[in-house]
Amino acid sequence: MKKIYSLLIVLLFVAGCSTKGNVFSLGVGDCFDDPDGIEIANVDLVDCNEAHTNEVYATADLPDGDYPFGSLESDVWDICYGAFESFVGEEYEWSIYEIGGLWPTQDSWEKADDREVVCYLYDMFGGTKTGTAANSGL
């Protein structure tokens, strides 16, 4: 069982245009290296067969309405936790992976109608990995 729980919190904000590495274009199975900063617009996409630090395993949209200040982190955790086992093939508590999420800032929520949450996993010891975690049972 994991002794350490961490949820890497990374905020998402509106970017001026959509590029290959833009966070708005991330999909399940995409791999990327750790981005710099707190508000992230672009990430360095990496072929999953090459060394990488993160892999997207789920995306979902938050419901419309006012920006969810008080519940946002909890909502993201629920989405990402709930999608983990069906992707990896192992319960989160027993896995070698930690989970993180990218989610809208208030600015992107209000100006770009951004509601997307991107769930990703990474090695609990901070290392790089090669290949996908999909159905790995790890």
Sequence ranges of the domains in the chain: 7-123
DSSP 8-state assignment for residue 48? T
User: Count of CB atoms within 10 A of residue 89's CB?
Assistant: 14
Is 1 exposed, middle or buried, given 0-12, 13-18 or 19+ CB atoms closer than 10 A?
A: exposed
The confidence score (pLDDT) of residue 40 equals: 81
One-letter identity of residue 101: G
For residue range 56-71, list pLDDT tens digits in order.
999 999 999 999 999 9
Task: Please provide the size of the chain in residues.
Answer: 138
pLDDT mean over 110-138: 95
For residue range 70-80, list pLDDT tens digits in order.
999 999 999 99
Residue 102, pLDDT > 80, answer: yes
User: b/e for 25-34, b at 16 or more Cβ within 10 A?
Assistant: ebeeebbbeb
The confidence score (pLDDT) of residue 35 equals: 82
Q: How far apart are CA 29 and CA 18, in angstroms?
A: 19
Q: Which of 14-18, 88-92, 101-105 has the lowest mean pLDDT?
A: 14-18
Residue 50, pLDDT > 70, answer: yes
- Nearest 10 degrees: CA dihedral of 92, 94, 95, 98? 50
Q: Are 48 and 136 in contact (CB under 8 A)?
A: no
Query: Tokens at residue 89, please?
Result: 């093939």
Per the model's pLDDT, the better-predicted residue between 7 and 89 turns out to be 89
The reported pTM is 0.82
The confidence score (pLDDT) of residue 3 equals: 28
